[in-house]
Amino acid sequence: MNDFGGHHDIFGSKMTVERIAGKSIRELTDEISGGCLIAEIGRGDDARVPEADEAIEFGDRITFLGDSAGVKKAVGQIHSHD
């Protein structure tokens, strides 16, 4: 993670959790903790700020921005540690 001072981070991770695939950014945002937002979604060579109704696909690279604890929790929800 990249610490921006004041206990805030930005971190990107590949989405590797099957149960998340197909959910919208809005649905995932409802599941992650407060103090953290989805700043960018990358798919192939494309990276952009996502629309709320955009679906997340397995293998997408998701960048989170927010307080350190919230970012850590969000990454844990989208990336399997198996």
pLDDT at 30: 84
The yes-or-no verdict on residue 2 having pLDDT over 90 is no
Mean pLDDT of 71-80: 88
The yes-or-no verdict on residue 12 having pLDDT over 60 is yes
Q: Over the stretch 32-41, which tens digit does the pLDDT of each residue have?
A: 877 899 999 9
Measured on CA atoms in the order 68, 70, 71, 73, is the torsion positive or negative?
Answer: positive
What are the residues facing 41 on neighbouring strands?
Answer: 48, 62
**Domain 2-67, what fold?**
Alpha-Beta Plaits (3.30.70)
The yes-or-no verdict on residue 4 having pLDDT over 60 is no
